[in-house]
């Protein structure tokens, strides 16, 4: 299996290490390609700040750093320029022109934040609500607080909001890779808050799979980041979801969601075994804008 990673975070956002550090390490590990995907700056008008996104003032510096690496490593390692862009219902997403006009090689579309319980379906219409985005990628304590305080104890409503936003992002398009498709399970060890085997949860997954199948141009990443950082004991997405995606013929790639050079290639063998067990025989390797090649697992 050829090694590649398109989901990589350096010191430009919440990672450790420079662009050069990652390139050198990937080369030493025999990678065929490496893509950089800093967390894109959040729009200023949504009222939510973050210390783990690329600073808006540093976007051009980041682009220059990656483009310089492309030239330096040409012929030894294929280097690609990307961003991981957040979808925020009714406000922002990968399809926004501000990202499309940057000339990126690819975009990873992800959902890290959801609005609070929205019984009246008016969240995006009310500016006062825009500082209430809830990050589902935090600690277990924060996740439990979101369920109990913002979703009135209804974990199912939170999960459905997350998957609805994933499907809405896929429908809107503007990105190439779906990031960590079931990130919502990060703090749900042993199904403590909701059952991933329940009928309603599987319906959420099937709805997402149907949307992906209809779009037919989005690659799903098998993300080893939770394993790399010790925050999960399984891949994103889970083996159960991979089997559903396989039934829908949804293409996949393998990414480390690397936040340090040590993460590059981490748990790739586990990802390969899981994909084979789910029925996959090939995964996709990126060759440049909109250009993918199937490779044998």
Report residue 223 as tokens. 């993300």
List 296's β-bridge partners, or say none.
282
C-alpha of 190 from chain center: 23
Tokens 């990672």 correspond to 15
**E strands within 160-235?**
177-178, 219-223
**Closest to 255 measured CA to CA, from 7, 3, 2:** 7
Tokens 């200023």 correspond to 44
Tokens 């250009």 correspond to 291
The pLDDT of residue 47 is 66
pTM of the model: 0.96
Q: How far apart are CA 94 and CA 161, in angstroms?
A: 18
Q: What is the pLDDT of residues 203-258, one digit of tens each?
A: 999 999 999 999 989 999 999 999 999 999 999 999 999 999 999 999 999 999 99
Q: What is the pLDDT of residues 123-151, one digit of tens each?
A: 555 655 555 789 999 999 999 999 999 99
Q: What is the pLDDT of residues 100-120, one digit of tens each?
A: 999 999 999 999 999 888 755
β-strand 219-223 against 78-86: which pairing, if any? Answer: unpaired
List 294's β-bridge partners, or say none.
284
For all residues of the chain together, what is the average pLDDT? 94
pLDDT above 70 for 122? no
Degrees, nearest 5: CA angle 107-296-289: 25
Q: How far apart are CA 124 and CA 168, in angstroms?
A: 14
The pLDDT of residue 91 is 84
Share of the chain above pLDDT 90, in %: 87
Q: How far apart are CA 56 and CA 40, in angstroms?
A: 8
């Amino acid at each position: 299996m050829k090694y590649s990673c398109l989901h990589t975070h350096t010191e430009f956002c919440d990672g450790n290490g420079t662009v050069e550090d990652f390139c050198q390490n990937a080369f030493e590990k025999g990678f065929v390609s490496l893509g950089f995907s800093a967390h894109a700056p959040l729009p200023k008008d949504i009222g939510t700040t973050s210390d783990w996104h690329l600073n808006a003032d540093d976007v051009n510096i980041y682009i220059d750093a990656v483009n310089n690496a492309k030239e330096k490593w040409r012929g030894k390692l294929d280097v690609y320029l990307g961003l991981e862009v957040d979808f925020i219902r009714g406000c922002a997403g990968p399809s926004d022109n501000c990202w499309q006009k940057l000339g990126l090689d690819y975009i990873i579309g992800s959902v890290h934040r959801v609005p609070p319980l929205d019984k009246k379906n008016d969240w995006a219409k009310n500016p006062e609500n825009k500082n209430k985005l809830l990050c589902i990628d935090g600690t277990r304590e924060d996740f439990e607080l979101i369920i109990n305080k913002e979703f009135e104890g209804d974990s199912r409503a939170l999960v459905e909001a997350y998957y609805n936003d994933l499907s809405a992002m896929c429908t809107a398009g503007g990105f190439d890779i779906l990031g960590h498709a079931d990130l919502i399970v990060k703090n749900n060890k042993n199904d403590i808050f909701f059952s991933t085997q329940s009928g309603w949860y599987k319906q959420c997954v099937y709805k997402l799979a149907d949307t992906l199948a209809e779009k037919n141009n989005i690659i799903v990443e098998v993300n080893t980041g939770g394993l790399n950082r010790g925050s999960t004991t399984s891949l994103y997405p889970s083996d159960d979801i991979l089997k559903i995606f396989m039934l829908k013929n949804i293409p996949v790639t393998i990414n480390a969601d690397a936040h340090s050079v040590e993460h590059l290639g981490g748990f790739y063998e586990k990802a390969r075994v899981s994909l084979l067990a789910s029925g996959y025989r090939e995964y996709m390797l990126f060759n440049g804008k909109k250009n993918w090649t199937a490779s044998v697992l």
